[in-house]
Amino acid sequence: MTPLKPLRQVSDVDDDSTSAPATGAEALAPDLFRRAVASLTSTAVRAEVRVEPLRPPQRLAPYSYAISADVRVGDGEELATGRLVLLHDPDGVEAWDGTLRLVAFASAELDPQMGVDPMLPAVGWSWLTGALDERAAAYRAAGGTVTQTASTRFGDLAGPRTTIELEMRASWTADDADIAPHLHAFVDLLCAAAGLPPEGVTVLSPG
């Protein structure tokens, strides 16, 4: 496992630049935001998850920071993907009930048999809240949506005839600058959606 590379983007970086070098804007960011970003970038994640810097949204908050995350096993295909955005408004936002907000998006293609389960959205949401609790992340004011869609291929399109996709959009407020547990919980969510066992658990193949 390796820690994230330092992310260079802050909300003051030009919209048209996805790889602009760090500027003095970072030094001017509030201490709480800088500590939150440092916590995020110094956190190691499990080997199946690749995390990369992502240009953050520019207008959701005065300060923002973003990453993308993809779940792959070996050189195999992508099993799940997502984005995690850290927002900071020093003045606070009433709807946030705080000054630090995390916004997450996760998407994964599931086994078609799971798609017929009417409880799937509730199960998907429990993957997130359960992971936040399990990782002892200090959070509040969580909310979001979970969507399951079924797609059927026809004609010459390659791939399985029917696929089920789960998408989650969620946000929650972090109580402090320790963002590491939140990142771990987000990774746990992606891995659960990808069908991977919990970190450190080995699934034995039938003999």
Contact 49, 71 (CB under 8 A): yes
**pLDDT, tens digit, 9 for 90 and up, residues 80-118:** 999 999 999 999 999 999 999 999 999 998 877 776 778
**Is 72 a member of any domain?**
yes
What pLDDT was estimated at residue 43? 94
Record the tokens describing residue 191, joined without a space: 């891995």
Element (H, E) at 135: none
Task: Tell me how long the chain is.
Answer: 207
Reported confidence tier of residue 22, pLDDT bands at 50, 70, 90: very low
The structure's pTM equals 0.82
- Residue 40 main-chain phi, psi, to 5 deg: -65, -45
Q: Please compute the mean of the pLDDT values over residues 178-195 and round it to a whole number.
A: 96
**Is 9 a member of any domain?**
no
Record the tokens describing residue 57, joined without a space: 């949204």
Alpha carbon of 68 to those of 12, 93, 139, 191: distances in Å? 19, 25, 21, 14
Strand order of the β-sheet with 162-174 is 49-54, 63-71, 80-93, 98-110, 162-174, 139-152
Residue 66 DSSP symbol: E
Asked if residue 14 has pLDDT above 50, the reply is no
- Number of domains present in the structure of the chain: 1
Contact 7, 52 (CB under 8 A): no
**Is 96 a member of any domain?**
yes
Residue 68 DSSP symbol: E
**Is 199 a member of any domain?**
no
**Is 50 a member of any domain?**
yes
Domain membership of residue 76 as a residue range: 24-193
Q: Please compute the mean of the pLDDT values over residues 175-191 and round it to a whole number.
A: 97
Contact 90, 62 (CB under 8 A): yes
**Is 16 a member of any domain?**
no
Record the tokens describing residue 88, joined without a space: 């900071």
What pLDDT was estimated at residue 25? 46
What pLDDT was estimated at residue 29? 86
In angstroms, the CA 8 to CA 17 distance is 11
**Is 4 a member of any domain?**
no
Contact 144, 171 (CB under 8 A): yes
**Is 40 a member of any domain?**
yes
